[in-house]
Amino acid sequence: MDFVVMAGISAIFALSGICDAGPTPSTFFGRLLSANTGHPSPLAKMPLPNEIDYTEPGESCQQAITEFRSSPSSECRLVHYVGVDKPNAKGVAASEVEAEVIGCRAQGFYVDCLYKDGRLFILVQEPGCPIPSWQQVMNEEAIMDVDCLLEAARRRGEL
């Protein structure tokens, strides 16, 4: 009975996307299921929060952040893409830049930085998705205008 309950809870966490929100019980349950059943669980491979390798920003990010720090400007935009649609963006305080970059990388996102015209841009994209041009990032534009594509398909009678 306990095995079924734990498996159900693990499945709920995995399917609901809660696993992406940070430390989750699914890792614990996965390891517990593996230990109790003798069969490996895919959840057992997920790292516990204290096992995650928080990597430092890459060389291009470090260079952009260094340029940002040495300039009098303190404007920074984090532009987060989820696939090809319009990104979400927010201003980031100068004191939070490194924490944002490291936090996004720790969650498995693609992260890159660009310093241009007195502004630091932090590009964040979901894994396995196309990377936008810096022009799209700076303008906070969609990689592909999905609404335009759907409208064109409707006009052609494809939808």
What share of the chain in percent tops pLDDT 70? 64
For residue 54, the model assigns a pLDDT of 40
- What are the residue ranges spanned by the domains of the chain? 2-51, 59-151
CB of 71 closer than 8 Å to CB of 118: yes
Digit-coded pLDDT (tens) for 58-112? 688 899 999 999 988 779 999 999 989 899 999 999 999 999 999 999 999 999 9
Q: What is the mean pLDDT of residues 52-62?
A: 61
Token digits of residue 132 = 């936008």
SS3 of residue 109 by DSSP? coil
Residue 13 burial by Cβ neighbours in a 10 Å radius (0-12, 13-18, 19+): buried
Residues facing 88 on adjacent strands: 80
- How far CA 39 is from CA of 3, 49, 68, in Å, comes to 12, 23, 50
User: pTM (2 decimals)?
Assistant: 0.61
pLDDT score recorded for residue 72 = 84
Q: Cα–Cα distances in Å, from 157 out to 44, 100, 135?
A: 48, 44, 33
How many angstroms separate the Cα of 83 from the Cα of each of 29, 32, 134, 145?
A: 30, 34, 16, 11
Question: How high is the mean pLDDT of the chain?
Answer: 73
In 1-159, which ranges are E strands?
75-81, 88-91, 110-116, 119-125
Name 72's Cβ contacts closer than 8 Å, sequence gap at least 6. none
